């Protein structure tokens, strides 16, 4: 247990020291990463990419019924 704690402590120390001593390019790319993750998860996901079936239906039975109808009705159109 002690060695495992030591292992994690080393990792945390590496992180802290690494962020304290970031190079110029390191600061730039971390800034880009943070902006990018914010845009992806807080803007794109929330406002532009909802889960289509998840939002439209409450449970999997309704979702499977919807997809079944979509598929079967599509084929009816092609007969």
Partner 1 sequence: MIENINPGLIDWSRAQFALTAIYHWLFVPLTLGLSFLVAMMETIYVRTGKEEWKRLTRFWMTLFGINFAIGVATGIILEFEFGTNWSNYSWFVGDIFGAPLAIEGILAFFLESTFVAVMFFGWNKVSRKFHLLSSWLVAIGASFSALWILVANAWMENPVGMVFNPDTVRNEMMNFWAVLFNPVAVDKFLHTISSGFVLASMFVMGISAWFLIKKREELLAKRSILIAGIFGLASSLFLAFTGDSSARTIARIQPVKFEAFEALSDGKQNAPLVAFGVLHGSGEKIGGKELPNFIFKIEIPDLLSVMTSGNKDAYVPGLKDHIEGNSDKGILSVIEKAERGKIARQTLLDYKKAKENKDNEQIGVLLKKFQDQGFRDNYFKYFGYAFINSPEEVIPEIYGAFYSFHLMVILGFLFILIFSLALIFLFNGTIGSKRWFLWILLFSIPLPYLASELGWILTEMGRQPWIIQDLMPVKIAVSNISADSVKTTFFLFVFIFTALLIAEISIMLKQIRLGPKH
Residues constituting the chain:
79
Question: SS3 of 5, please?
Answer: helix
* Residue in the structure block whose two tokens are 């939002």: 55
34 binds partner 1 (CB under 8 A): no
7 binds partner 1 (CB under 8 A): no
* Residue in the structure block whose two tokens are 């079936």: 53
Cβ proximity of 40 and 47 under 8 Å: no
Considering only residues 44 through 73, tell me which ones interact with partner 1, judged by CB under 8 A: 44-45, 48-54, 60, 63-64, 67-68, 70-73
Give residues in contact with partner 1 (CB under 8 A). 10-11, 13-15, 17-19, 25-26, 28-30, 32-33, 36-37, 39-40, 44-45, 48-54, 60, 63-64, 67-68, 70-79
């Amino acid at each position: 247990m002690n060695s495992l704690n030591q292992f994690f402590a080393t990792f945390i120390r590496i992180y802290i020291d690494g962020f304290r001593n970031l190079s110029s390019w390191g600061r730039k790319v971390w800034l880009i990463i943070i902006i990018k993750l914010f845009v992806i998860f807080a803007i794109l996901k929330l406002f532009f990419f909802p889960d289509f079936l998840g939002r439209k239906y409450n449970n999997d039975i309704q979702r499977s019924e919807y997809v079944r109808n979509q598929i079967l009705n599509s084929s009816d159109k092609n007969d």
